Structure 1
Amino acid sequence: MNQAEAFWEVGREPGRQVVSLGVAVTLTAVSIDVLLVGRLTLFFDLCFMVLCLGLAALVRRRDFYLVALLPPVLLTAVFAFVALVARSAIADPTDSLLQAVVSGVATHGIALFIGYALCLGWLAWRLHREGEADIATELSRELSRPA
C-alpha cells in the first residue's frame, strides 16, 4: 500500500470474510431495530447503506464481483430470515412468507437502491483509481475468469 493511500482506498479482505461481515452487521442492525422499536425503521436503512459502502471499501480487488452482487442478495436473504422469525417487523403478521419478503424489500427499496449505488460506485471508483482506464475491459476480464 502506498503511503498516500488511505485504508479505504485499497481493500485487502477476502470476499468470503466480507460477506460474513455483511451478514453479521445486517443481522445486528435488524436485532437492534426490532428490539428497540419492534420493526425496521430508518435506522436499519442507514446502517444498510453505510454497510454497502464499507463492504466495497474492504474487499480485495479480485473479489469485486462477489461484493458487486451482495446488496440485493443480502437484503433479500435477511428479510427471508426476519419473515420466518419476526414477520411483524417487516410486514403484516398475517402475510405469507413470500408476501412478507416482497413487502420488506419494497418498503426498504430506497435503502437498497442507494446502498447498491454506493457499493457499485465505490468499486468503479477503485477500479479507476487503481489505474484501470477501461472499466468495461476489467469487468469483462473478471467475469470471464474461471472460478
Structure 2
Amino acid sequence: MTSVARTLGEGEEPGHEVAALAVALLLTATTIDLALADELGLLFDLTFVTVCARAALMVRPESFFTVGVLPPLAMLVPIVLLAFAEPAAIAHAQDGAVQATISGLSGHAVALVIGYLLCLGILAVRNQVQANRSGSPAPRRTSSG
C-alpha cells in the first residue's frame, strides 16, 4: 500500500461542516479567553486567524464559496452573543447590543482583515493548483483597449 502525500489542493470536508467547526472553535476560544481575562483579546484574534487559514485548507473545492464568505460571519457570531450577554467584554458595559457589536467588530478588525485575506489567498492558490492539475488553463484577464 502506497501513501500519497496530501498537497495544498486536496481538502476533503464539506463546506457546512467546516463552517460549523469554525464557529464552534471560535466560541470555544471566546470562552477560554474570557475565562483568562475580562475582555476578548489576543487569544481570540490568534485563534480566529488560525481557524480561517485552516478552514480554507480543509474544505473541498466545491465548497470554496462557503468558506470564502465565512470569516466575517464567523467573527460576527461570538461578537453578537457577547454584545447581548456580556457587553463589557467587547465594549463599555453600558453600551447597547448594537453599539457593543460595532465596538467588538472594530476592536478585532485587524484579526478580521488578516484572517479574511489569508483565507481568500489560500482559496485562490488552491483554485490555481486545481486548475493546473486538471490541465485546463486558469482564466486570464484581458485588457480591452
* Fold shared, TM-score > 0.5 on shorter chain: yes
State the Cα distance separating 1:128 from its structure 2 match: 0.6
Q: 1:11 to 1:40 in 2, by over 3 A?
A: same
Aligned to 1:51: 51
Q: What code does the residue aligned with 1:22 have?
A: A
Computing the radius of gyration from Cα coordinates, the structure with the larger value is: 2
Q: What code does the residue aligned with 1:5 have?
A: R
Please state whether the residue corresponding to 2:131 is helix, strand or coil: coil
Aligned to 2:72: 72
- Taking the aligned partners of 2:77 and 2:6, their CA distance within structure 1 comes to 34
Please state whether the residue corresponding to 2:69 is helix, strand or coil: helix
- Taking the aligned partners of 1:135 and 1:108, their CA distance within structure 2 comes to 35
Aligned to 1:134: 138
Aligned to 1:22: 22
State the Cα distance separating 1:3 from its structure 2 match: 2.1
Unaligned runs of 5+ in 1: 138-147
Q: What code does the residue aligned with 2:37 have?
A: V
Aligned to 2:4: 3
Percent of counterpart pairs with the same letter? 39
User: TM-score, normalized by length of structure 2?
Assistant: 0.87
Please state whether the residue corresponding to 1:110 is helix, strand or coil: helix
State the Cα distance separating 1:130 from its structure 2 match: 1.3
Q: What code does the residue aligned with 1:29 have?
A: A
Aligned to 1:36: 36
State the Cα distance separating 1:31 from its structure 2 match: 0.3
Maintained 8 Å contact 2:57/2:122: yes
User: TM-score, normalized by length of structure 1?
Assistant: 0.86
Residue 122 of structure 1 pairs with residue 126 of structure 2: no
Q: What code does the residue aligned with 1:134 have?
A: A
RMSD value over aligned CA atoms?
Answer: 1.8
Q: What code does the residue aligned with 2:82 have?
A: V
Give per-residue Cα distances to partners, 1:32-61, cap 9 Å, x unaligned. 000111111111111100000000011111
Q: What code does the residue aligned with 2:12 have?
A: R
